[in-house]
A and B are shown apart, each in its own frame.
Chain A
Amino acid sequence: MAEETGSWHRMIAAGDLPDGEIFAAKVGDVHVALYNVDGAFFATDNVCTHAFALLSDGWLDGTTVECPLHGAQFDVQTGKALSSPAECDLRTFPTRVNDGQVEVLLGE
């Protein structure tokens, strides 16, 4: 469970991220991936936990994102690593739609 501390960051207009697509943003040092799964928005770290690759360059199938480099899969709702070669889960971040904009809650 992510803690409800930190601040909400505006990412993209909800209408600009189509279903099945991934949006990448960098907020400070944090790489954020924002996913549209059937109209619901989820956010995780954008950097794969295996080596260095951006998941936003990968493939989103339902709630599963697949890393473009060596194929590790993660559940974008929970951040859970679903398949090798990933060994660690991704951090997830709460999202909300505010005024037509998708926002992500990031820690301090």
Chain B
Amino acid sequence: MDAERTRAEPPDTPRKGQGLRHVIVGAGLAGHRAAVELRRLDTTAQVTLLGAEPGLPYDRPPLSKEFLLGQIRPEALVLKEAADYAALGIAHHPATQVVEIDRAAQRVTAGDGRHFPYDRLLLATGSRPCGLPAALAEGEAVHLLRSLADAERLGAALTQARHVAVVGGGFIGLEVAAAARMRGCAVTVVEAAPRLLARGMPAALADWVAALHRAEGVELRLGACVEALTGGGAAGAVSLGFAGGALQADLAVVGIGIRPNVELAMTAGLPVQDGILVDEACRTADPLIFAAGEVTCHPVPALGRRLRVESWRTASEQPLTAARAMCGLPARYVELPWLWSDQFGCNIQSIGLPDAGVELVARGDVTTRKWTLVALDEAGRPVGAVAVNNGRDIGMLRQAIRAGQPVPRALLADPAARIPVAHRAEAASG
């Protein structure tokens, strides 16, 4: 298919009988959701979805959970409506890595030289996992987990493995540890920080999760920065050296954080600050270029700051706003960061910034299996919360955080109490 076309008209003039050309770079959750929404909003638009990965867009959360446990097949991960692209008139080009944005010519170029002209461009390039420094991480038996291909490779290796080393005690590492343990492997988690979930989560949650993993038989080595890791040579053998010890395992999974894929935007001269900088309508500094999903650094008005949010929810909802903005409709994305993690049958949720307050109030007993911890700022306003097996509190706290009003501590501390909310100060997104 030749996507090349020369531009004669100025950008905003729809060509005879044809709608705007919307081009999306990145066919993950965000890119997919934007494509479907663009089609829904504008039946005449041309919607083109370019993704570096092979196959149809799929859901990542199960990759570290049900998929590793062998409970679901790859086909079941395909995102809803992705199988209907032909019927929806969405031109999906898999295995198409975009290497350049030519803003003056309004077109992007793929690695194989194909050009795709656009009237509106959406960057939904997501993130990639950080590896260990190259000198440390070598060999077949060292795994990262981001893509379906990664998960298939890891899943296959797990069937042989008896001892699994997980480098990194963040959510992904802990989910992999739980899955490997549930498959009967011996599991050791090696974390450089003195506690788990050190990035963004309160210590009380880290302690609770550590107790859960230990009770399930996972060995935790905290304050143990990996200094050597080799996984070459004989199949199924890694050796790890870290501050305070060493260990041998059949394989290692490295989950030490992710980096946003911002290079394309940076090279095109778009402002990047951690993520691609966008406003509430997902606009970049170029009025024809938008960004959505995990790659963005976007305003969170209720918290009075800009954030890059690593969560499924953002990648699912923010692109709906981007699609509206690309169609010239009013659009604002004002949601709070919100994520979940499922480990050993327990559900953990985080909303807002649970480590940003000056005080924490517990709803329920944090030594049990069901509780919520609310973070308050100096003025007694909730700014974030974590809930363990207590998702019911999240909706209420989301409203309370967005309302930006102090909440009496006694009310917060009563697990049965509802927090009355003067109806939402912020309009819902999209």
Q: How far is the CB of B386 from chain A (nearest CB, A)?
A: 14
Partner of B391 from A20, A61, A69, A84 at Cβ < 8 Å: A69
> With an 8 A cutoff between CB atoms, is B157 at the interface?
no
Q: Is A57's CB under 8 angstroms from B392's CB?
A: yes
> With an 8 A cutoff between CB atoms, is A16 at the interface?
no
> With an 8 A cutoff between CB atoms, is A85 at the interface?
yes
Q: Is B317's CB under 8 angstroms from A84's CB?
A: yes
Partner of A71 from B80, B390, B394, B418 at Cβ < 8 Å: B394
Give residues of chain A (43-76) contacting chain B, Cβ–Cβ below 8 Å. Answer: 53, 57-59, 61, 66-71
> With an 8 A cutoff between CB atoms, is A87 at the interface?
yes
Give residues of chain B (150-166) contacting chain A, Cβ–Cβ below 8 Å. Answer: none
Interface string of A33-48 (1 = CB under 8 A from B): 0000000000000000
Knowing A68-B347, A70-B340, A84-B317, the reply to whether A59 touches B394 (Cβ < 8 A) is yes
| B396 CB contacts on chain A under 8 angstroms | 59, 61
Q: How far is the CB of A91 from chain B (nearest CB, A)?
A: 19
Q: Is A57's CB under 8 angstroms from B391's CB?
A: yes
Q: Is B313's CB under 8 angstroms from A71's CB?
A: yes
Partner of A20 from B313, B340, B342, B418 at Cβ < 8 Å: B418
> With an 8 A cutoff between CB atoms, is A7 at the interface?
no
Give residues of chain A (62-108) contacting chain B, Cβ–Cβ below 8 Å. Answer: 66-71, 83-85, 87
Interface string of B390-429 (1 = CB under 8 A from A): 1111111001000000000000000000100000000000
Q: Is the interface of B mostly helix, strand, loop or mixed?
A: helix
Q: Is B392's CB under 8 angstroms from A59's CB?
A: yes
Q: Is A69's CB under 8 angstroms from B418's CB?
A: no
| B391 CB contacts on chain A under 8 angstroms | 53, 57-59, 66-71
Interface string of B332-358 (1 = CB under 8 A from A): 000000101010000101000000000
Knowing A69-B347, A71-B340, the reply to whether A83 touches B317 (Cβ < 8 A) is yes
| B127 CB contacts on chain A under 8 angstroms | none
A77 to B340: give the CA distance in the assembly, Å.
27
Q: How far is the CB of B389 from chain A (nearest CB, A)?
A: 8
Q: How far is the CB of B175 from chain A (nearest CB, A)?
A: 14
Q: Is B395's CB under 8 angstroms from A59's CB?
A: yes
Q: How many residues of chain A are within 8 Å of chain B by beta carbon?
A: 16
A84 to B342: give the CA distance in the assembly, Å.
17
Q: Is A68's CB under 8 angstroms from B392's CB?
A: yes
User: From B59, which residue of chain A is reached at the shortest CB distance?
Assistant: A85
Q: How far is the CB of B313 from chain A (nearest CB, A)?
A: 7
| A20 CB contacts on chain B under 8 angstroms | 418
User: From A20, which residue of chain B is reached at the shortest CB distance?
Assistant: B418
A59 to B394: give the CA distance in the assembly, Å.
8
User: From A66, which residue of chain B is reached at the shortest CB distance?
Assistant: B395
> With an 8 A cutoff between CB atoms, is B239 at the interface?
no
| A53 CB contacts on chain B under 8 angstroms | 391
Q: How far is the CB of B300 from chain A (nearest CB, A)?
A: 17
| B340 CB contacts on chain A under 8 angstroms | 69-71
Q: How far is the CB of B62 from chain A (nearest CB, A)?
A: 9
Give residues of chain B (322-379) contacting chain A, Cβ–Cβ below 8 Å. Answer: 338, 340, 342, 347, 349
> With an 8 A cutoff between CB atoms, is B316 at the interface?
yes
A77 to B33: give the CA distance in the assembly, Å.
26
A70 to B347: give the CA distance in the assembly, Å.
9
A30 to B80: give the CA distance in the assembly, Å.
26
Q: How far is the CB of B8 from chain A (nearest CB, A)?
A: 40
Partner of B80 from A68, A69, A87 at Cβ < 8 Å: A87
Q: Is B392's CB under 8 angstroms from A84's CB?
A: no
| A57 CB contacts on chain B under 8 angstroms | 391-392
A70 to B392: give the CA distance in the assembly, Å.
10
Q: Is A85's CB under 8 angstroms from B392's CB?
A: no
Q: How far is the CB of B57 from chain A (nearest CB, A)?
A: 13
A20 to B418: give the CA distance in the assembly, Å.
10
| B394 CB contacts on chain A under 8 angstroms | 59, 66, 68, 71
Give residues of chain B (306-325) contacting chain A, Cβ–Cβ below 8 Å. Answer: 312-313, 316-317
Q: Name the 7 nearest CB pairs between A and B, nearest first.
A: A68-B391, A59-B395, A84-B316, A66-B395, A87-B80, A59-B392, A68-B392
- A sample of 10 inter-chain contacts (CB < 8 A) reads A20-B418, A59-B391, A59-B393, A66-B391, A68-B394, A70-B340, A71-B313, A71-B391, A84-B33, A85-B312
Besides A59-B396, A71-B391, 16 new A-B residue pairs in contact (Cβ under 8 A), listed by A number: A57-B391, A59-B392, A59-B395, A61-B396, A66-B395, A68-B347, A68-B391, A68-B394, A69-B342, A70-B340, A70-B391, A71-B349, A71-B395, A84-B33, A84-B313, A87-B80
